[in-house]
Structure 1
Amino acid sequence: MAEGDVDPYPQVFVVDSQANYVSMPGEKRPRWVRSGQTFLLLLVGLALLGLVVEGCFIYSLYKKTEGGTILSQVGSKDSNDIPTVRPHLEDIQQRPFAQLIGSDSYIGENNEVQWEDKNGETVTHNMGFEKGRLMVKEDGYYYIYSKVTLNVAEECELIQHKIIKATSAYGKDIELLKSKSLRCFNPTRSPITHKEDIRNSFLAGIFHLESGNTIFVTLENSPKMLPRHTEYLMGAFMIYPGGLLQE
């Protein structure tokens, strides 16, 4: 073919259909990313569920208080009234208690100490008093106490101070508390110093008492007691109402 001639036929390129193609793999997210998204969705679901449960609880509480009865009972911020739990206070105020002081004729029959229930710092509330004895009207646990003051300078006797419960359930009285004291005159003392030897005896404890029980104090081989009424006391007060507690 001479130079400058143009070939009338275009060149043909043959594509080999058997050639191998190299496919590029698609982009794949790491596993921790997928796990994090799942965990985040779970947290969002739990938060929404919590809001629904809280809303239901608030609505239920509002319905039970009939539109805010509790708030009206507590009082507004501007109120000067102090909220009180009336049933509890009323229960405490009605609990029995008593305190007695010594009588002029301090020792009666069978060594029973006599008490005064009308003068001085004496009080009886929901408890009876008859012939030197406290009378229980309500079942419960009571704190019982007794204190005596003695002048034992001229005695040499075994002094016994007791708190006793009398009940129809038993054939005899029951000793609840007892103290013993042996005091003897010392002849080596001067006449001035041995005229007085003041001793105190105090008994106290918690016991279950029933309606109809009586409580009294005895003083065996007692020396002369001090004349001041406030030197010897007997008292009781309920600390827990009701029958015996089951273990």
Structure 2
Amino acid sequence: MAEGGVGTCPQVFVVDRQESYISVPSGKGSRWPSVSQKFLLLLVGLTLLGLVVEGCFIYRLYKKTEEFSLCKYHPLCQNLSHPQTSGQQGGAIMRQVGPKESNEIPTVPPHLDQVQQRPFAQLIGSSYPIGENNVVLWLGDDAVTHSMVYDGQGRLLVEKEGYYYLYSKLTLNAVEECSVIQHKVMKDTSAYGDPIELMRSKSFRCQTPRRSSAKGSGGEDLWNSFLAGIFHLRSEDKIFVTLENKTKIRPGPIDNFMGAFMI
């Protein structure tokens, strides 16, 4: 204790209020590295996907180029790329196939099958032109066919389905008396029980007055009936021609014919 009874003053301690803080990353900030990594992985994945798609397109382009390079040596591709040359070749083929005389139809040369021709047929009239049920008959030995069959009974059998151009021409004699003459192109198909009428020419014909003198001398009053059209035919369908009033037809291979070819 000090003198005079006065106590000594206690020491005053000064407390430093300045505190050193250690920054602690918040939870929100700590998630940024993982989000950026995911975004980076997404970019890498899209890049790889783009490379795969680009590779597929390049491969397809390569295959197309390879097919074209192989096709250009094929006769059909050469015909498409050189239409004038194709027409000249077609003319040369037709000259080889064409008849030397008007009443001759040659067979199809073997080399035509190698060009992959579409089905076709050409039939000419017989000396005995009408069969059962007014069906017009044709000369089977002189028939020109490819991928089609003539059954010898007036019917042309279709082997390949597709659209066909059908035509028929008959020469008729109307010198005797007035009558109705019907020239038809018919189709037999397994889808229906009865034949289907595709085309018809119906005419009422009489001999002209100026032909009266020719009638007694056995003259002729000739006229033609021609039918043509495009139809869809299925395999196993049969095409044939009928003529009602069969006595009117003028027999012969030049005056009557029937044909079909795929378009």
Please give the TM-score of this superposition, normalised by the length of structure 1: 0.60
CA distance in structure 2 between the partners assigned to 1:66 and 1:229 by the alignment: 50
Partner residue of 2:255 out of 186, 207, 231: 231
Structure 2: 5+ residue stretches without partners:
1-53, 81-85, 87-112
Partner residue of 1:108 out of 103, 121, 131: 131
Letter in 1 for 2:116: Q
How far did 1:184 drift?
Answer: 1.6
Do residues 138 (structure 1) and 166 (structure 2) align? no
Letter in 1 for 2:243: L
Bigger CA drift: 171-180 or 216-225? Answer: 216-225
Question: Which residue does 1:40 correspond to in 2?
Answer: none
Change (3 A) 1:115 1:189: closer
Alignment of 1:54-133 (within 5 A): 64=62, 84-85=76-77, 93-119=116-142, 122-130=143-151, 131-133=153-155
Change (3 A) 1:134 1:189: closer
Identity %: 52
Residues 186-215 of structure 1: CA deviation (Å, up to 9, x unaligned):
456441378221110000000000011100
Question: Which residue does 2:103 correspond to in 1?
Answer: none
CA distance in structure 2 between the partners assigned to 1:64 and 1:126 by the alignment: 36
Alignment of 1:1-247 (within 5 A): 64=62, 84-85=76-77, 93-119=116-142, 122-130=143-151, 131-186=153-208, 189-192=211-214, 195-239=219-263
Letter in 2 for 1:127: M
CA distance in structure 1 between the partners assigned to 2:67 and 2:208 by the alignment: 75
CA distance in structure 1 between the partners assigned to 2:65 and 2:220 by the alignment: 73
Change (3 A) 1:155 1:193: closer
Secondary structure at 1:182's aligned position in 2?
strand
Change (3 A) 1:220 1:92: farther
Letter in 2 for 1:114: L
Q: Indicate the RMSD between aligned Cα atoms, in angstroms.
A: 3.5
Secondary structure at 1:191's aligned position in 2?
helix
Change (3 A) 1:185 1:86: same
Structure 1: 5+ residue stretches without partners:
1-55, 76-81, 240-247
Change (3 A) 1:92 1:166: farther
User: Is the contact made by 2:176 and 2:215 (CA closer than 8 Å) also made in structure 1?
Assistant: no
CA distance in structure 2 between the partners assigned to 1:97 and 1:151 by the alignment: 30
Change (3 A) 1:200 1:65: same
User: Is the contact made by 1:101 and 1:232 (CA closer than 8 Å) also made in structure 2?
Assistant: yes
CA distance in structure 1 between the partners assigned to 2:193 and 2:72 by the alignment: 54
Please give the TM-score of this superposition, normalised by the length of structure 2: 0.56
Secondary structure at 2:204's aligned position in 1?
strand
How far did 1:227 drift?
Answer: 3.4
CA distance in structure 1 between the partners assigned to 2:228 and 2:181 by the alignment: 18
User: Is the contact made by 2:71 and 2:77 (CA closer than 8 Å) also made in structure 1?
Assistant: no
Secondary structure at 1:154's aligned position in 2?
coil
Secondary structure at 2:213's aligned position in 1?
coil
CA distance in structure 2 between the partners assigned to 1:66 and 1:172 by the alignment: 49
User: Is the contact made by 2:121 and 2:148 (CA closer than 8 Å) also made in structure 1?
Assistant: yes
Residues 59-100 of structure 1: CA deviation (Å, up to 9, x unaligned):
x69x8279999679758xxxxxx9751798989734211010
